[in-house]
Structure 1
């Protein structure tokens, strides 16, 4: 019996739920390191501060990052790598050494609050299953010995693959193959007042669902009032697949007679670029998903079955991990490029403040330096034609004609379109030839919209007075939200 049990099991549950409710929801971010030209730890922390990110998850316990995070107040989840799980699970002394090196030596300057033991261990390295809970116990005992057990909790992120049929949520159960391990796992979480770590990816739920669920459901888009996704047993309505996945996990724990264990979503996101066989991995979908995810999490409500328990969530992920093996989409989940610019507009808060790019002052949409010239020309043609950007300033004799090159002219046109049309859903993409930056490209008398020296109405004659001026418009660049016809709820309840 764990030392905390003098409180009584039900009291531990009550205190944990009260803690979750009192401290509210948050949105954090995962920081992977399989990245070419990974910024320094100091630069990464500067990005976190600039974007008001207060919670991070590291997949390891990198000393440079932990030192750089010292004094910031950022809550840090450190990770035991999958390769380390077996050794720690076989040796209490190895667990104690790991805690002393990677946790105790950084506290209290670095605000470490959790240890994630491996990642999706049961479904990715099944041979480690027999030692997973033992490793967690050994780490917890090491924290007890250092009097850190109340500040630092131990858990292990699990994949949704642990639940073969997650819909309807009310009938969801863990794969029976893992029943013995999951019972021990959940008993550990209950005894230590910890939380269930869940990796929830509606992207995979949708793409592997063979068309059963509409993409709007995966992206948090509104569903028709007559075509809601409903659990036929509870009559709970599920406005998003994300909430359904979280509830499926609560019900799966309940099927093993465990309750009162809150869920933290340790990974969720959407890839913004994929291969030819990955048509839903787009910047528009990623922007829609992650912005809606953040808004949903920060409303401080839980899923339908647990409305009082916030769904704390870590977005996957800070940078594209281009060194990761696998499909093209696997490498393109990042919210930021390594130069600090955002991949698409994103807000990390409840206010309208937008990270990296917005229609406000200080952010610009410009042509990528390495963009293919033919694609760049098509983007410029469309922006000045069908996109109705005000391209008068880049005509000969006008302030932004010089330098007279494709990248410069495209940058002006892209930025004008982006600032005028972002409120209508426009993104800084242009066939992946554009990028956002906080570096003001204005020069001399050429002022880009978004600069502190510009005005919101534009500086020059509306484009209708000039037309495309020799540029050939291309409808292939038009970014129009796709219309998805929703399916009846009866089809949605057959599982995926």
Structure 2
């Protein structure tokens, strides 16, 4: 019996470690409190155009699930709070819910998780008592359908239930909730699921009365003397988000649960607010969400778990103009009801997700951490076989300054990208380039993307960048970045 228990424990730990080792993703929440809610097919079209591959629904809307079918987009569906009581009191009701909203759509619609309620422990204390029953009944229905390995079951919690959250090493959950929390965490651990957590640094900042600096809430760089230090671990924290995630990890370990990963089901920043919300601005919303996306996709992790994925859903896809409450409640969206961006995210280096904005203002630029030698090789290729007119990079021309390989690569890469019709495959350069929504034009150096069209190059047939056998007899381009136009250069590596 002891050996059997040890084997089960080892398998469980392996399953959880594999879950935590998955690459982090950025998803979006899709609220529907709009006076003119787009049709599900329009929603899906927007998701595809933005290369959003993970969404969370606040219900299990049938039309939305049908529209998401065969897209490959990973979908988290929800049991609304008002349906919890019936499901928690009846195994058959839970089974019917799973059949109607999951089994009937899977696997055509790629449902990967079920959110059972939302912030139940802090908003619905009377219903909280039956939350674990609802979790178990939903999971049992998945087991009966042989879907429990593919679809995880959890419940989004508010970070407000974490008390004394800084320093994170002293954090603990509201002890009055322990009779519910402990069996809930035991369920998550035994099923290989994760803790779903809603984190809102905006509210932490607003309620701190100046204790939390705005830059610390927005992921902006801080000088070392401004970083927050956990006095127990001496770990430095540079943003609220990481500190709250680690507080959740420490709070779980205080209850002897140390192997449950965290997924952030909601976070964001409002772009507009009432007079008493002066920091709900377009610039701050842009800064928070742009920095969040880069932070998550860079696999930075947190100080307690560096390099461990913290997959995150942004709140939210659309501004919800019919939501009750202050003005900020209506303005958390990335887009308006017509699919127009509320602001253009600054996403250089974060990949393609949410970078291909609907205004067509996209650029191909060198990654911040790119190898200069590889960038130079990319410049040589673009200005040679790629048939890019690199004359603006010559000394004395508009794009010569700044005279460095990164700036010159930006121009060469972006020009090739637009020459090829802004195809995502044309912005790779051996993984040294990335699509960005930030215009790299400067001074009199105007990049093709800022012209609002796909370049002005006429009928040019560019060389294929997939070739591994470029002309080996080609001359070398001068390495001082004074580029000789039209020279064919040897580069025997795959660029795309």
TM-score, length-normalised on structure 2?
0.72
In structure 1, how many angstroms separate the alpha carbons of the residues matched to 2:362 and 2:249? 41
- The CA distance in 2 between the partners of 1:93 and 1:170, in whole Å, is 42
| Aligned-pair CA distance for 1:161 | 1.0
Aligned position for 1:51:
50
Please state how far the C-alpha of 1:70 moved relative to its aligned partner.
Answer: 0.4
Could you say which residue in structure 1 is the equivalent of 2:119?
A: 120
Q: Which residue number corresponds to residue 272 of structure 1?
A: 271
Deviation at 1:11, TM superposition (A): 2.5
Q: For 2:9 and 2:299, how far apart are their aligned partners in 1? A: 26
Q: What CA deviation, in whole Å up to 9, does each residue of 1:44-82 have, x standing for no partner? A: 000000000000000000000100000000000000001
User: Contact 1:220/1:293 (CA < 8 Å) preserved in 2?
Assistant: yes
Partner in structure 2 of residue 329 of structure 1:
328
Counterpart CA distance in 2 for 1:421 and 1:6 is 53
Q: Matches of 2:117 and 2:31 in 1, distance apart?
A: 14
Verify the 8 A CA contact 2:439 2:450 in the aligned structure 1. no
- Structure 2 SS opposite 1:289: helix
Within a 5 Å distance, the mapping from 1:61-100 to structure 2 comes to 61-100=60-99
**What are the superposed Cα offsets for residues 308-350 of structure 1, whole Å, 9 maximum, x if unpaired?**
4210000000001112111110111000011111001126772
Range that drifts further, 279-288 or 344-353? 344-353
CA separation of 1:214/1:117 partners in 2, compared to 1, >3 Å: closer, same or farther?
same
Aligned counterparts of 2:439 and 2:277: Cα–Cα separation in 1: 25
Question: Following the alignment from structure 2 to structure 1, what is the Cα–Cα distance between the partners of residues 359 and 11?
Answer: 46
Task: Check conservation: 2:346, 2:437, Cα contact below 8 A.
Answer: no
- The verdict on how the C-alpha distance between 1:126 and 1:17 changes in structure 2, with shifts beyond 3 A counting, is same
Contact 1:13–1:261 (8 Å) recurs in 2: no
Which residue of structure 2 aligns with residue 9 of structure 1? 9
The aligned residue for residue 318 of structure 1 is 317
- 2:100 match: secondary structure: helix
**C-alpha distance in 1, partners of 2:89/2:346?**
43
Task: Give the match for residue 174 of structure 2.
Answer: 175
Cα deviation, residue 175, structure 1: 0.4
State the alpha-carbon separation in 2 of the partners of residues 453 and 234 from structure 1: 53
Give SS of 1:20's match: helix
Where in structure 2 are the equivalents of 1:295-444 lying within 5 Å? 295-346=294-345, 350-351=350-351, 353-357=355-359, 359-360=361-362
2 CA distance for matches of 1:6 and 1:355? 51
Report the Cα offset of residue 351 of structure 1. 2.9
CA drift at 1:300:
1.4
Query: Root-mean-square deviation (CA), in Å?
Result: 2.6
Alpha-carbon offset, residue 420 of structure 1: 13
Query: Which residue in the other structure is 1:166 paired with?
Result: 165
CA distance in 2, matches of 1:361, 1:235: 41
3-state SS of the aligned residue for 1:287?
Answer: helix
Is this contact kept in 2: 1:206–1:214, CA < 8 A?
Answer: yes
1:462-481 alignment, distance < 5 Å: none
- In 2: Cα distance, 1:421 partner to 1:81 partner: 39
Greater relative contact order (Cα < 8 A, sep 6+): 1
Residue deviations 1:274-293 (CA, integer Å, cap 9, x gap): 00011010000000000000
Q: Note the alpha carbon deviations across 1:86-136, whole angstroms, 9 max, x for none.
A: 111111111000000000000110000100011100111111111001000
Q: Which runs of 5+ in 2 are unaligned?
A: 365-435, 443-447, 457-496
CA contact (8 A) 1:217 1:239 kept: yes
Distance 2:48 2:455 in 1: 27
Post-superposition shift, 1:13?
2.5
Partner-residue secondary structure (3-state), 2:20 = helix
Q: 1:194 to 1:258 in 2, by over 3 A?
A: same
Cα distance change, pair 450–140 in 1 and its aligned pair in 2 (3 A) = same
CA separation in 2, counterparts of 1:302 and 1:315?
A: 17
Rounded to whole Å, the distance in 1 between the matches of 2:68 and 2:437 is: 38
CA–CA distance in structure 1, aligned partners of residues 7 and 328 of structure 2: 47
Q: Secondary structure at the match of 1:57?
A: strand
Name the stretch that deviates more: 5-14 or 213-222: 5-14
Partner residue, 2:20: 20
CA distance in 1, matches of 2:232, 2:46: 46
User: How many residues are treated as equivalent by the alignment?
Assistant: 375
1:165 Cα deviation from its structure 2 partner: 1.9
Q: Return the TM-score normalized by structure 1.
A: 0.72
